[in-house]
A and B are shown apart, each in its own frame.
Chain A
Amino acid sequence: MTRRPPYFRKACNALLGLLSLISIVLAIGCMAWVLCTVCARGFSVLSADFLTSPCKPYGEEGAGIGNALVGTLLITGGAALLAVPPAMAAGIYMAEYGNGSRWAAFLRSAANIMMGLPSILIGLFVYVIIVVPAGHFSGLAGTVALAVIMFPIIMRTTEDMLNMVPPALRESALALGMTRMRATLCILTRAAKNGLATGVLLALARVSGETAPLLFTAMFAYSSPSGYFREPTANLPVLINEYTMNSPFESMHEIGWGAALVISIIILTVNIITRILFREQSR
């Protein structure tokens, strides 16, 4: 073995420290760069009018994002309604009944694989099972696509959170003569409620920015989202895509940046608030 002088080893070590520092600065710096760009370019168009008036095709004055904002809220809210109850029940099954069984391990792997599937494929899937039979694009199809994406995320967080509840609590509830169902619904979910809420909110924040699954399901429209069940429905992510990627006009790009700022604010606020609340309660 060759002996290396200590200053060489120290230099290598310092180099590693420097590299680590650079990489974290790079990561956080790039995030700041992206967010600052969005703020700088989006802030100038932001106004009450912009938030309420509907989006319009190129050339018309006074375009805003009102209908897309409502559409996004409808689509993600619907997805939450559709996905949360069954996903929580599935998580309860995994945590309470599936302990150590192979069937549960299989379900867990399936959910993990589902979480990693590209979201555009889920859009394709929902297109085939809903849009084709119904014969039209609709906001509802977009809702289903987002619900499919949320399902495994919430299922896995529910399971993890229930597993973190101390077993003594579960056993004492059962020892008092409660049925398994009562013990789960009244005691365990209540003990884990912060974690469950965090899981749901983070999943919601994540899917509300998803664009790819909405391209062939909710699509895009200039109309108000009253045709949620039957017609293409306006929504923010696809609006951003339409106004920036598919449009050469500067005025539309501005609206795109404004929409990007709004959706970033919504998502980051939900994210940060959830994390702060959860951190304080888990102490």
Chain B
Amino acid sequence: MQRTDKIFRLVCLLCALPAALLLPGMLLQLLSNSAEAWHTFGLSFLWSSEWDPAAGKYGAWPGIAGTLLTTATALVPAVPLAFSAALLLTEVPSWLAKPLSHAVDLLAAIPSVIYGMWGLFVLAPLMQEHVQPLLARLPGSTLLLGEDNSGFGFLTAGLILALMILPYMCAIMRDVISMTPPMLREAAYGVGCTCLETTRDIVLRHGLRGIIGGIFIGLGRALGETMAVLFVVGNIMEPPAGLCSCGTTIAATLANNFAEADGLQRSALFALGLVLVVMSVGIQAGAQYYLRLTGAKRGETI
């Protein structure tokens, strides 16, 4: 009797081990495969913006800067949208909230390649014809926006990413908002606060850490998203010149070049992968920290 139990426990433990082993394995593999690139370029690989396969020169800066820019562009609209949507979903009666939150959750179910197609065939022409001419009329816009007017670029990619990360952030924020003790909330209403004031002074204060955690989860998603960005970012190996200019991100670079690369270029691509792993593990660790403080569930489980 006891023996089968011990064996069962051992088997279960063995099955749980890959979770712990995968990350170190991945780091090790990326490190060993990118050794050549680090050896050749040193740390200056990180801020060199040259990417010239013919001359054998590679730098990570176009990818890193592009990744940061698309992520930032995605977060600016997505955070307020996700928060206000989550607020509405917690305030309305449950017969309305349930279908609405399921609908928002379905946004996360649509595969990223379909967002990419939609961006390529619908959003990019729209940006080119209507939005970018409008933006170009703003004073000083060439500095901010770059001179491209193709419809592709960081702004388009960021908008699609915003749509893609919204459901994840919204789900976590919903959890966090509904965890505010009802007593605190009712007390605020009791002294005459409006809904806005209750939200600002009670809900936001109480759930701030969970909300930051939710933002981190969205950040991690946006950082590593490949397909949707690949379709609309333009894929040229140059650091961003402006919001509407074409460029690349780390994930898009990997997807585009990895299959044909060999030698030093492949090693440089592995080095880019290493940079992406480090960035996203850092962000996930931040998300873990904040979400554990509040005890909120991650948005990915049901």
> A residues near B, CB below 8 A?
9-10, 12-13, 15-17, 19-24, 26-28, 30-31, 33-35, 37-38, 41, 85-87, 89-90, 92-94, 96-98, 106-107, 109-121, 124-125, 127-129, 148, 151-153, 155-157, 160, 179-181, 184, 195, 198-199, 202, 205-206, 208-212, 215-216, 219, 237, 240-241, 244-245, 253, 256-257, 260, 263-264, 267-268, 271-272, 275, 278-279
Q: Which residues of A contact B85 (CB under 8 A)?
A: 20, 23-24, 27
Q: Which residues of B contact A128 (CB under 8 A)?
A: 29, 33
- Could you tell me the dominant secondary structure of chain A's interface residues? helix
Chain-A contact segment, one of B143-151, B180-188, B223-231: B223-231
CB <8 Å contact, A211 and B277: no
CB <8 Å contact, A34 and B281: no
Interface string of B1-33 (1 = CB under 8 A from A): 110110011011101101110110110011001
Q: Which residues of A contact B113 (CB under 8 A)?
A: 209, 211, 237, 240-241, 260
Chain B: minimal CB distance from A269 (Å):
10
Contact of B19 among A24, A114, A116 (CB under 8 A): A114
Question: Taking CB as reference atom, which chain A residue is nearest B11?
Answer: A89
Q: Which residues of A contact B217 (CB under 8 A)?
A: 116
CB <8 Å contact, A264 and B111: yes
CB <8 Å contact, B5 and A180: yes
CB <8 Å contact, A118 and B224: yes
Q: How far is the CA of A121 from the CA of B9 in the complex (A)?
A: 31
Contact of A86 among B15, B98, B195, B221 (CB under 8 A): B15
CB <8 Å contact, B117 and A267: no
- Could you tell me the dominant secondary structure of chain B's interface residues? helix
Q: Which residues of B contact A22 (CB under 8 A)?
A: 84
Chain B: minimal CB distance from A260 (Å):
5
Interface size on B, residues (CB 8 A): 91
Known contacts A38-B114, A237-B113: A16-B284 contact under CB 8 Å:
no
10 A-B pairs whose Cβ atoms sit less than 8 Å apart in the complex: A15-B196, A27-B170, A90-B18, A94-B16, A110-B22, A112-B298, A114-B22, A121-B224, A180-B9, A244-B120
CB <8 Å contact, A153 and B300: yes
Chain A: minimal CB distance from B94 (Å):
12
CB <8 Å contact, B276 and A118: yes
Q: How far is the CA of A195 from the CA of B102 in the complex (A)?
A: 17
CB <8 Å contact, A275 and B102: yes
Q: How far is the CA of A21 from the CA of B83 in the complex (A)?
A: 12
CB <8 Å contact, A115 and B114: no
CB <8 Å contact, A110 and B259: no
CB <8 Å contact, A16 and B195: yes
Chain A: minimal CB distance from B250 (Å):
9
CB <8 Å contact, A244 and B117: yes
Q: Which residues of A contact B25 (CB under 8 A)?
A: 125
CB <8 Å contact, B111 and A210: yes
Q: Which residues of A contact B285 (CB under 8 A)?
A: 109, 113
Q: How far is the CA of A115 from the CA of B84 in the complex (A)?
A: 26
Most buried by B among A96, A151, A181, A206: A181
B68 at interface, CB cutoff 8 A: no
CB <8 Å contact, B301 and A31: no
